[in-house]
Amino acid sequence: MSRKKLKRLKDVYRFPNVFSRENENVEELLNYYFGNRKPFTLEIGCGHGDYSIELAKMYPERNFIGIDYKGARIYAAAEEANKLNLKNAAFLISGAEKLAEIFSKEKVEEIFIPFPDPHYPRKSFKRLIDKNFLNIYKNIVTEKAKGHLKTDNEELFNYTLNILNKENCKIQFATSNLYAEQGFDHHHTIKTKYEKQYLEEGKEIKYICFGFEN
């Protein structure tokens, strides 16, 4: 690991908007940080936190949490949110498999999963939307919660549609070419670093919006 990454991994915990699954009562710490007990919106695999930051600017009345298991990745996101004085954006160092241990039932109102690795983590060949992860999400989401997946990977797109159907999740909207569609919601204007790169390469962006129950 480079010196820069090591320094960021150490310094990331100095940000007031960064939390770790190792903290006791993480949910309560987040409630205290936000200054309210409103539901959370999660960005899983947030990296630089593009969605968490942009959504926090669009919806100042809501609470957003970017989640990544690598603290060095979160550093830039936390730094940017602090510079912008976004008090409704926080970041959590954790793997997605731990979410049901962190959040209580019906605490999460929306989940964004933008451009995940097709396998997560790579060595275990688990995907962020599979039977096990969906069961984790179902334990923490509100009744009308929505999930959002964006990817350039056709195999992952088709796999996700298949697993959502098998697990009785309602697919509310799906497209293999998002930017050929009309009438975008506001959050579709958000483009991650990787999405911009894929678009420059001429790749089509796939998108699925789903509920966690039929």
Three-state SS annotation for 148-175? EEEECCHHHHHHHHHHHHHCCCCEEEEE
**If you ran DSSP here, which 8-state letter would residue 116 be given?**
-
From 11, 50, 68, 117, the catalytic residue = 117
> Tokens 């483009």, residue?
191
Q: d(Cα 40, Cα 120) in Å, to the nearest integer?
A: 23
11 is catalytic: no
Q: Report the distance separating Cα 41 and Cα 137, nearest Å.
A: 12
Among all residues, which ones are annotated catalytic? 117
